[in-house]
Amino acid sequence: MKHWLLSVAALALPLVASAQARGPAPKAAPSEGMVSAADPRAAAAGVEILRAGGSATDAAIATMLALNVVEPQSSGIGGGSYWVRHEAQGGATTTIDAREAAPMAATPNWFYGPDGRPLSHADAVPGGRSVGVPGALRGMAMAHAQGGKLPWARLFQPAIRLARDGFQLTPRLQTALTRYGGHVDAATRARLTGLDGQVLPLGSTIRNPEQAALLERIARLGPDSFYVGPQAQKLVTTVNGATRNPSKMAMGDLASYSAKPRPPLCATYRGYRICSMGPSSGGGSTMLSILKLLERFDMGKLGKDSPQAWHLFAEASRLAYADRDAYLGDPDYVRVPLKGLFDPAYIASRSALISPDSTMATVTPGTPPGAPARVRAPVSEVPGTTDLVTVDAAGNVAEVTTTIEGSFGSGLSVDGTMLNNELTDFDIVPVKDGDLVANRVEGGKRPRSSMSPTIVYGPDGQVHLAIGAAGGSTIIAQVAKAIIGVIDWKMSAQDAIAQGLLFAPYKVATVEQGTSLVDLVPGLQALGETVVVAPLGLKANAIERVGGHWVGAADPRSEGVAIDVSGRTTAIRRVGDKPGRPAE
């Protein structure tokens, strides 16, 4: 099952992938450190670790653990993550796949009902069967072994304090529970609602002593304590005993789970080297495909206010998402034709389908060299997840996207910690038009993801930008849009993140409600685009290097901030025309 590893070993620029992609010898790094995260309390936890002498990896772990407490609807140790890291000493780029995995008992018909028919996505989410074996802690442990400086237990202290002493209920968490929390279990609802059953008012203090105790045990005993023994048994009992969609998870599924170092996926774009996460995520390759398809067009000259520029972005998105839906999956289970997808002749042939003056009538997957027979099978991904970036004094960078999938995941919790519904990122129907779907359910397999943690290296070989996003399948477009904003439109990372989004994975293009892009709708329609205006649940974080200093960015749609080691918070411009739907 080494198809992908073999293929990437043979790749040459413009696509570069290896176990450790290396740039030129590093220059002197900026002296300050910084954290950008979707919640100020989590960012502060990471900064606390940086001040204590921790590395970017240490700070990322502390930030993730704090997000687990204050943003339980989006991420946590009951879910999974992807890491992309830059090592200042030597310039290597490394990645870690800590994506959740299906239990070994899972079959291609895992989400079929007793009547032999496939469940709808909405019906498959609640309960035990959607829960994948959590990978986040194993990913943290691998990252800590590779790049940590402080003791493992020290990294847990900010999160333990938040869970034990309490934190204030914010608008995002309140909104998530009100709108999307109908499936959460009784223990979770009891923590977040009053005696009348209504969601607690803003500013209420939320305490989670069960979670504090769990984190204390893991801090003291190490990550294995979550995957074996009584804690593992508690998780297995919870998912297998769920009243809705009970699972068939075994203790061995947890004990045998491991995070995996994967080759980073790197490509050039206008002289910049962009490194992201490869499969099992489908995010990095799709994001890079969008950029490569657009490289022949002068996006800079067109500018950010051009309907034609956004039309080109929409067309490149459709082509890239079509190939993603057809070919991307867990490389340990299916042959992913990465080399073919980035073959220069293939990119040129796909880009030639894009016209500046008209919209494609239909979009189908291409046939890249080495591609197996596949049928396009899009999946339902909801706007959950969270992203964070950390930089330390030595210039090490950690970019992490982490998730439990939908808001509050499966709705099940163990010791105050939500469990993911990540297995609904698989295609529920395993065969279409007589061909096996690449992203079908299989025992031990990791579902395809849109998560796209990314590090951008400038023409000088130095880290220029680290960026990632949350928001389901919009993640890919968010990251691609922001990179175009920074490179082509010379925007700051903050402005590039705040810029509205045109999201067009399929025929209809969604223009983000409440943004300046709405003014471009008539021009887009004149180019043949079918357009709707609607809110999008977006949330991104970034840190960029400007003049030898780190400058943070966080999405104005979220509660996110960037904080440096001196305690200064980057002024996140809360745009007056922000969209109506908050990021989850």
* CA-atom Rg of the chain in angstroms: 22
Helices 307-327 and 283-294 cross at an angle (nearest 10°) of 140
* Structural contact between residues 82 and 277, judged by C-beta atoms closer than 8 angstroms: yes
- How far is residue 413's CA from residue 342's CA, in Å, rounded to a whole number? 41
Residue written as token pair 């079908």? 440
DSSP 3-state percent helix, strand, coil across the chain (nearest 5): 35, 20, 45
Question: What is the three-class DSSP state of 347?
Answer: helix
- How far is residue 552's CA from residue 542's CA, in Å, rounded to a whole number? 6
Between the CA atoms of 199, 200, 205 and 211, what dihedral angle is there, to the nearest 10 degrees? -20
| Span between the terminal Cα atoms of the chain, in Å | 36
* Tokens coding 326: 């057809």
- How far is residue 334's CA from residue 440's CA, in Å, rounded to a whole number? 10
Could you tell me whether strands 508-512 and 530-534 are parallel, antiparallel, or unpaired per DSSP bridges?
parallel
* Structural contact between residues 136 and 257, judged by C-beta atoms closer than 8 angstroms: no
The 3 state secondary structure assigned to 208-243 is CHHHHHHHHHHHHHCCHHHHCHHHHHHHHHHHHCCC
Residue 87: phi and psi, rounded to 5, are -100, 115
Tell me the torsion sign for CA atoms 24, 30, 33, 34: negative
CA angle 153, 78, 108 (to 5 degrees): 140
385 part of the active site: yes
- How far is residue 446's CA from residue 328's CA, in Å, rounded to a whole number? 11
Which residue type is seen at 539?
K
Catalytic residue, chosen from 95, 268, 385, 402, is 385
Beta strands in 242-361 (DSSP E): 260-262, 265-269, 272-276
Which residue type is seen at 534?
A
The neighbouring-strand residues paired with 98 are: 81
- Residues with a catalytic annotation lie at 385
